[in-house]
Amino acid sequence: MKWVMMALGAALAVATPGLARAEMACADLMGVKLDHAEVTAASLETSGVVALCKVSVTSRPTSTSDIRIEVWIPAGGAWNGKFVQIGNGGFAGSIASGRLKATAAGGYAAAGTDNGHQAAGTSASWALGYPEKLVDFGWRSLKETADIAKTLIKAQKGGGPQTSYFFGCSDGGREALMMAQRFPADFDGIVAGAPANYMSRLFGIGAANQQALARPGGYLGAPQLQLLQKAALAQCGGEAFIRDPGACKFDPSRLQCKVGQTTDCLTAAQVNSARTIYEGRRHPQTGRIAFPGFSPGAEAAGGSWQAWTTGPSADRIGQAASYQFTSNALKYFAYGDPAFNFLTMDVGAQFDQAQAKMAPIIDSASPNLKAFKARGGKLIQFHGWNDPAIPAKSSILYYEDVGRTMGDTSGFYRMYLVPGMLHCAGGAGPNTVDWLAMVDRWVVGKDAPGPVTATSVANGSQLLCPYPAVARSDGSGGWACSSRRKG
């Protein structure tokens, strides 16, 4: 043990070329002064032979704020001179310490936050009566984390990071785009996976879907999900996943029971439920689709519709993640009423009012990324086509909105839609890509990303093309990127 501690001490004295300077001892970071924040713990941990300085911080920018932050800094020459802020998920409430430690063990200084509350899961009751906590969750905790992490890195290393990145998926993707929009000077590269950047609108499709499923005969159980998935796969390619969901025009009405048929078919109410989930929220007052729905092809897959939308059974539909997120958000973000029942609300004008209240705080929907582009920032966005939590089409919506606002975005923005991928990971389609390394190469090496190969242990690999191109067979057993067909 004595030898190990001597080795750790030596590691603290080692410096990477270009970073040669004496380091402050990890424990001495306890004395660093921070605005409206304090370091509550600072200690060395190990990961293999790498020494890591773990720093815990509590920040209180308002009288009701309680933002917990962790910063992990590789010792001495183990640091690559770069910083990564890791996004959270869901409604946050905890810090992904394991992921931060693993990232730091890979050479990056890393930081994350609980977004200002300590109630993990789908509960949003922490926001009741505390509007500043909602602001902390929406965006302020992210800025606090970035500023505090860079201050601590500079204090220990004698200089700040050479490059800074933000990486997040789901709510972390929302956070990633929030930083690009609100604080464009803070990060050189950003990876936004399956972003919940239209978070307030997601509660609208959650309400519409649950209302459809709650109608008499409208529930979709496991047999109906299997029937939908089988039919969608057969119609749109016949493979284990749909290669080009954007070209798949699957209509669930083709499965509606004919007169006298009672098996292997859907009732009219079930067809309506499926169509609602596929189409998205249709505004009752205008008849127009207000927000897109989900793509076909993985309805019955593990971790898909049952986990997010239908629950394990009709009597346990309240266990579905979308049900819980929607109910909690409308109760505590929008109405401040624990008794509010979203199953009886008008998903038209009434929801529009609720959305208008939530959106300025929690949405990161602005298509104006001009400041981020001007300072040389690079943005990579990715989304699984079969994401059951956040529709892949919402990423298309944002990408195209940015294009309409800014013109050609290829110099700083790439988006990849991953066929067969579920929420952030998983699914029948190969989806393992080192997105952080990709954005790092773009920022540091000026290596703009093009087609990339996604891999998996069980399902081989597939070619991913920057949107709007899609992968198609090249006729010789391989794949190549080509323009998307119209119509």
Residue 116 belongs to some domain of the structure: yes
Report pLDDT for 485: 56
Beta strands (DSSP E) in 8-62 are 37-47, 50-59
Residues 178 and 206 in one domain: no
Residues 345 and 257 in one domain: yes
Residue 220, amino acid:
L
Residue 465 belongs to some domain of the structure: no
Q: Which residue has the tokens 């932050």?
A: 69
Domain count within the chain: 2
**How far is the C-alpha of 9 from the C-alpha of 75, rounded, in Å?**
9
Interhelix angle for 199-214 vs 268-279, to 10°? Answer: 180
Residues 323 and 268 in one domain: yes
Residue 479, amino acid:
W
Give the three-class secondary structure for 416.
strand
From first to last of its 487 residues, what are the pLDDT tens digits of the chain? 333 333 334 344 443 433 445 799 999 999 999 999 999 999 999 999 999 999 999 999 999 999 999 999 999 899 999 999 999 999 999 999 999 999 999 999 999 999 999 998 899 999 999 999 999 999 999 999 999 999 999 999 999 999 999 999 999 999 999 999 999 999 999 999 999 999 999 999 999 999 999 999 999 999 999 999 999 999 999 899 999 999 999 999 999 999 999 899 999 999 999 999 999 999 988 889 999 999 999 999 999 999 999 999 999 999 999 999 999 999 999 999 999 999 999 999 999 999 999 999 999 999 999 999 999 999 999 999 999 999 999 999 999 999 999 999 999 999 999 999 999 999 999 999 999 999 999 999 999 999 999 999 888 999 999 999 999 988 888 899 998 754 3
**How far is the C-alpha of 169 from the C-alpha of 45, rounded, in Å?**
27
Residue 477 belongs to some domain of the structure: no
Residues 208 and 177 in one domain: no
Residue 423 belongs to some domain of the structure: yes
Q: Are 139 and 183 in contact (CB under 8 A)?
A: no
Q: Residue 276 is encoded by which pair of tokens? A: 């609602």
Residues 116 and 190 in one domain: yes
Residues 306 and 438 in one domain: no
User: Of the candidates 70, 80, 76, which has an alpha carbon nearest to the alpha carbon of residue 100?
Assistant: 70
Residue 478 belongs to some domain of the structure: no
Question: Is the preceding peptide bond at 468 cis, omega within 30 degrees of 0?
Answer: yes
Given 304, 334, 359, the domain boundary residue is 359
Given 359, 392, 416, the domain boundary residue is 359
> What's the farthest any 2 CA atoms get from each other in the chain?
82
Query: 75-86: buried (b, 16+ CB within 10 Å) or exposed (e) per residue?
Result: bbbbbbbbbbbb
Q: Residue 228 is encoded by which pair of tokens? A: 């939908």
Given 298, 324, 359, the domain boundary residue is 359
Residues 311 and 378 in one domain: no
Taking the C-alpha atoms of 165, 138, 200 and 312 in order, what is their torsion angle to the nearest 10 degrees? Answer: 80
CB-based contacts of 139, cutoff 8 Å, min separation 6: 175, 178, 182, 361, 364
Report pLDDT for 390: 98
Residue 89, amino acid:
G
Residues 145 and 233 in one domain: no
Rg over CA atoms, the chain? 24
**How far is the C-alpha of 16 from the C-alpha of 404, rounded, in Å?**
44
- Domain containing 236 equals 201-359
Residues 270 and 340 in one domain: yes
CATH number at residue 173: 3.40.50.1820
Residue 30 belongs to some domain of the structure: yes
Q: Residue 401 is encoded by which pair of tokens? A: 């909105």
Residues 8 and 38 in one domain: yes
Residue 462 belongs to some domain of the structure: no
Residues 155 and 234 in one domain: no
**How far is the C-alpha of 396 from the C-alpha of 419, rounded, in Å?**
14
Q: Are 215 and 272 in contact (CB under 8 A)?
A: yes
Q: Are 296 and 228 in contact (CB under 8 A)?
A: yes
**How far is the C-alpha of 75 from the C-alpha of 8, rounded, in Å?**
8
Residues 9 and 95 in one domain: yes
Q: Are 89 and 169 in contact (CB under 8 A)?
A: yes
